[in-house]
Chains A and B, each alone.
Chain A
Amino acid sequence: MSHFEFSREPFTPERYRSRVADPVAGGYASFEGWVRNHNEGRGVQRLEYEGYEALGVKEGDRIVAEAFARFPIAKACCVHRLGVLDIGDLAVWVGVTAAHRDAAFAACRYIIDEVKTRVPIWKKEHYAEGDSGWINCEVRSADAPAGSALP
């Protein structure tokens, strides 16, 4: 079973919690990312997540495999929403179990941090004023053009 997956439908952590159950586990750490109503001083009304799923699942699985290599954990799983989300909706869930809590906390933190920077997921914010924007893709004119990203 994959350790990382996308969900096009709303889900609850309870639906996936049993996947990280393990008899050796003495601790369970989880992280829930929720949609908040503001970003960088602007009011946000809803979000859209778009994902390159075939590569995203591979990269997400690699991240969880790295967590297993770095920390003595029992089970780990991450699920990320796609589609249109409202304020307060669950956007991402990470669950990790381990014999001891230090490893569970550390691995959970590692997984969410890496997922945010490496998995091909894009977030479009819809603002209170009616406009919208893709986060991290808007480059001010003073910044370098896309072509300069190439070697």
Chain B
Amino acid sequence: MAPSPQANSIAVSIEYFATLREHVGRPREELRTTASTVGELYAELDRRYAFPALGRVKVAVNDEFRDWSSPVRDGDFVVFIPPVAGG
């Protein structure tokens, strides 16, 4: 039997905030992905959800800021960070 196309996939948790949360329609999701970097994961989700234009988005993995080229691993918790506006 041919291997499933998802055979090499990993499980990740995503949390959405602010405009992304409203756009996606939920605060969290668990999903399987074959993305190898957080940039690839963002591109995959952008294809699925057609994220709104946001300016410069940052990314955090397991509650730390990371580069877009950072690897995404099984069990990672990923948050995409739209432009912030504290104060």
Contact = CB atoms under 8 A, between A and B. Distances in A.
Contacts, number: 105
Q: What size tier do the contact residues of chain A reach?
A: 35 or more
A119 B51 contact: no
Interface in B28-69: 39, 42-43, 46, 51-57, 60, 63-65, 67-69
A8 B87 CA distance: 15
B82 interface: yes
B12 to A, nearest CB: 16
Contact of B87 (A58, A112, A141): A112
Given A55-B65, A123-B86, A147-B43, A134 B57 contact: no
B84 A121 contact: yes
A141 B55 CA distance: 11
B84 A149 contact: no
B81 interface: yes
A1 interface: no
A137 interface: yes
Contact of B18 (A124, A144, A147): A124
Interface of A: 33, 49-52, 54-55, 58-59, 80, 91-92, 112, 115-124, 134-137, 139, 141, 143-147, 149-151
29 contacts: A49-B86, A52-B15, A52-B17, A54-B63, A55-B60, A58-B64, A91-B87, A92-B86, A116-B84, A117-B84, A118-B84, A119-B84, A121-B86, A122-B18, A122-B19, A122-B84, A124-B18, A134-B82, A136-B55, A136-B85, A137-B52, A137-B54, A137-B83, A139-B53, A146-B55, A147-B43, A149-B57, A150-B57, A151-B68
